[in-house]
Amino acid sequence: MRIVLDAAGGDNAPEEPVAGAVRAARDLGCEIVLAGPEARVRAALARQRTAGLALSVVDAPEVIEMDEHPAQAVRRKTRSSHVVGLRMVRDGQADAFVSAGHSGATMAAATLVLGRIRGIERPALAIQFPARDKMFLLLDIGATTDCKPEYLLQFAQMGSLYAERGLGIANPRVALLANGEEASKGDRLVQEAHRLIEQTGLNFVGNAEPKDALLGCVCDVLVCDGFVGNMFIKQAQAVVKLALTLVQDEARRGWAPRLLAGLLPSALWAGLGGGAVRLGGALGLLSAVPLLGSLLVPPLLRVRRKADYRFYGGGPLLGVKGVAIIAHGRSDAAAIATAIAQAHAAVERGAVLGIADMLAPQAAGAPSA
């Protein structure tokens, strides 16, 4: 198997992508092609131990900047890593493309270069989102902001297939993101999509509110339009960051230390039997404020890490004729390696291209909406 990696994409390119590629080539035993400005990529590669690994470089001197309009940039910069890499996939020279670069450009390039699977109306970008017990697949998170009910139906079908084949979840439970569990909830789009999905053979569990998905873990696949999905992720990140900030503010203000001052003595006495420790007085603890306050932060940071999708490799763009995995811009080498492993699994198990077979009878018979 041969996977093309966008070596020019992401905040830490080319160093982290190259390091991630080396790691993935070693772990997966597959061939990795690094697409990017050749000299820079080769220089980064020279700093790695690559003996015995199948790593090659393909020159892609143009770079799509973050402030460029995705579709326009893709049309103009045909020697960018996005276009060069995806053309290799289109032409059968590679099996998958992975990028931590401009995600809008990757989506635009994948749609333009690879084209949509016959019968698929619009592509959807999926990611794994953390819930209490395990993650669920959320789509669309931004590929298609304006949706028709038929698009959501196809997102449900593609998401279910990817969850089953790519993530190994048997008979995945599919839900629609809505403002209430009843079928009457949601806006018109969700209500109509509900009726359409109900008629399929999918394991459809109905509507799910955010709390049902995050805490109740009622679904393996959560479907919404690209605008709502993007808000879902961004609101989660903003709220976690706000909580972290407020807790830090609280700790600085001395609320937490005051509580610790009140409770710690009894905790210490209870814990240590009262014999080994003698306390100079509860109030004395207040002088330890900065350190005690800081104790509240690490667990929250760990929660933030759990809630931050950039630690989970990447997400597949579903509905295009090829495997394209989009990783977070801040991906480090480990995240890149995870994204490459995702691409590897998706190719091996037909989790993305299998969509074409799944839709084949439907695409032949059903009229397009």
Q: In 208-244, which positions are buried (b, 16+ CB within 10 angstroms) versus exposed (e)?
A: bbeebbbeebbbbbbbbbbebbbebbeebeeebeeeb
- The residue (of 118 and 305) whose beta carbon lies closer to a copy of itself is 305
- The residue (of 47 and 132) whose beta carbon lies closer to a copy of itself is 132
Local structure of residue 286 (DSSP, 8 states):
G
Alpha-carbon distances of 298 from 217, 260, 284, 301, rounded to whole Å: 25, 17, 24, 5
Q: How far is the CB of 82 from a copy of itself (least distance, A)?
A: 19
Q: How far is the CB of 70 from a copy of itself (least distance, A)?
A: 11
Hey, which residues between 190 and 209 contact a copy of itself (CB under 8 A)? 190, 209
- The residue (of 38 and 192) whose beta carbon lies closer to a copy of itself is 192
Hey, which residues between 11 and 70 contact a copy of itself (CB under 8 A)? 69
Q: Could you tell me which stretch among 4-12, 14-22, 47-55, 297-305 binds a copy of itself (CB under 8 A)?
A: 297-305
Within 10 angstroms of residue 179's Cβ, the number of other Cβ atoms is 12
State the Cα–Cα distance between residues 210 and 318, nearest whole angstrom: 23
Dihedral class, residue 217 (left if φ above 0, else alpha if ψ from -120 to 50, else beta): left
Bridge partners of residue 173, in order along the sequence = 203
Hey, which residues between 99 and 138 contact a copy of itself (CB under 8 A)? 131-132
**Interaction pattern, residues 218-257, with a copy of itself; x per rule: CB under 8 A:** -------xxxx-xxx-xxxxxxxxxx-xxx-xxx---xx-
How many residues bind a copy of itself (CB under 8 A)? The answer is 77
State the Cα–Cα distance between residues 135 and 169, nearest whole angstrom: 11
Q: How far is the CB of 315 from a copy of itself (least distance, A)?
A: 16
124-130/314-318 β-pairing: antiparallel
Q: Could you tell me which stretch among 6-14, 166-174, 283-291, 348-356 binds a copy of itself (CB under 8 A)?
A: 283-291
Q: How far is the CB of 89 from a copy of itself (least distance, A)?
A: 27
Local structure of residue 248 (DSSP, 8 states):
H
Query: Does the protein bind a copy of itself through residue 183 (CB under 8 A)?
Result: no
Q: How far is the CB of 106 from a copy of itself (least distance, A)?
A: 16
Task: Select the residue interacting with a copy of itself from 52, 92, 201, 275 (CB under 8 A).
Answer: 275
State the Cα–Cα distance between residues 131 and 211, nearest whole angstrom: 9
